[in-house]
């Protein structure tokens, strides 16, 4: 089995469309979404496209998915883009996001028992990074039984070993940190291989389309911050490291 992993799409429909057009994604047996799917400028359209793919898609919730569901239920949120998304979603989409599991596990050939989640297996907004210590990994993983760990949340792609287990973050489709483009990963159960992939995007064209089609009041500034520019991996690691308690 081959699985394409897409994480942190954040409602950036043009980026999602580009990744779904990749031959290896079209040919994959499954597409696993590791959270933060709709909290962005085109939430309704993003969810509709993913739902149209049917049972090929396996969904795992992220902290932003939880937040937009809470907004739809009348709860306050600090993030303007999440407030916007929560107010835009249809009831069926709120129900979909509100029932997503926190983890998904599958036996994946040479990769063994593979567990997908967003932040950590115990908390959807918890941070774990490529340079986190073995002690930190042991703390957040607890007694989780897995040979391969696949996560999202930090928007930065990496593959590393964690005490004989393979840890993978595909990076972000819609809001990449480090290098531009839509980041994703391909897991090959037959070969036991993990490949980090990046789909090039025309940032100006993507930004223009979002500005034209999104109803988010702050779309111009949002596009300038996350599409036409992107945060460096160093700045992101430093900021998220503080959340980790460094």
Find out whether 12 and 40 touch, Cβ atoms under 8 Å: yes
**What DSSP designation does 51 have?**
H
Q: What is the pLDDT of residues 149-194, one digit of tens each?
A: 999 999 999 999 999 999 999 999 999 999 999 999 999 999 999 9
The band of 246, judged by pLDDT with boundaries at 50, 70 and 90, is confident
Rg, C-alpha atoms of the chain = 17
Whole-model pTM? 0.96
Structure tokens at 203: 């940032």
Query: Please, which pLDDT band fits residue 4 given cuts at 50, 70 and 90?
Result: very high
How far is 205 from 161, CA to CA, in rounded Å? 37
Residues 66, 68, 69, 74, Cα dihedral to 10°: 130
Percentage of the chain exceeding pLDDT 70: 100
Beta strands 148-150 and 165-169 are parallel
- What is the per-residue pLDDT across 38-66, written as a single tens digit (0 to 9) for each? 999 999 999 999 999 999 999 999 999 99
Q: Pairing mode, if any, of strands 2-6 and 148-150?
A: unpaired
β-sheet bridge partners, residue 120: 123
């Amino acid at each position: 089995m081959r699985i394409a992993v897409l994480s942190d799409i954040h409602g950036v429909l043009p980026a999602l469309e580009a990744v779904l057009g990749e031959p290896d994604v079209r040919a994959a047996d499954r597409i696993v979404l590791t959270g933060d799917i709709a909290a962005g400028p085109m939430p309704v359209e993003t969810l509709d496209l993913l739902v149209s793919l049917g049972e090929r898609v396996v969904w795992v919730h992220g902290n932003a998915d939880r937040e937009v569901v809470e907004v739809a239920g009348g709860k306050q949120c600090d993030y303007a883009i999440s407030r916007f998304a929560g107010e835009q979603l249809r009831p069926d989409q709120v129900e979909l996001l509100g029932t997503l599991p926190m983890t998904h596990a599958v036996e994946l050939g040479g990769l063994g028992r593979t567990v997908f989640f967003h932040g950590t297996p115990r908390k959807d907004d918890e941070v774990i990074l490529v340079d986190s210590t073995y002690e930190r990994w042991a703390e957040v993983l607890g007694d989780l039984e897995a040979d391969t760990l696949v996560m999202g949340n930090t928007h930065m792609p990496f593959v590393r070993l964690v005490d004989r287990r393979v840890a993978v973050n595909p990076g972000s489709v819609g809001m990449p940190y480090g290098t531009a483009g839509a980041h994703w990963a391909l897991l090959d159960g037959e070969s036991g291989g993990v490949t980090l992939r990046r789909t090039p995007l025309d940032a100006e064209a993507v930004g223009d389309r979002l500005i034209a089609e999104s109803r988010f009041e702050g779309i111009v500034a949002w596009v300038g911050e996350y599409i036409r520019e992107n945060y460096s991996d160093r700045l992101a690691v430093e900021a998220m490291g503080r959340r980790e308690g460094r």
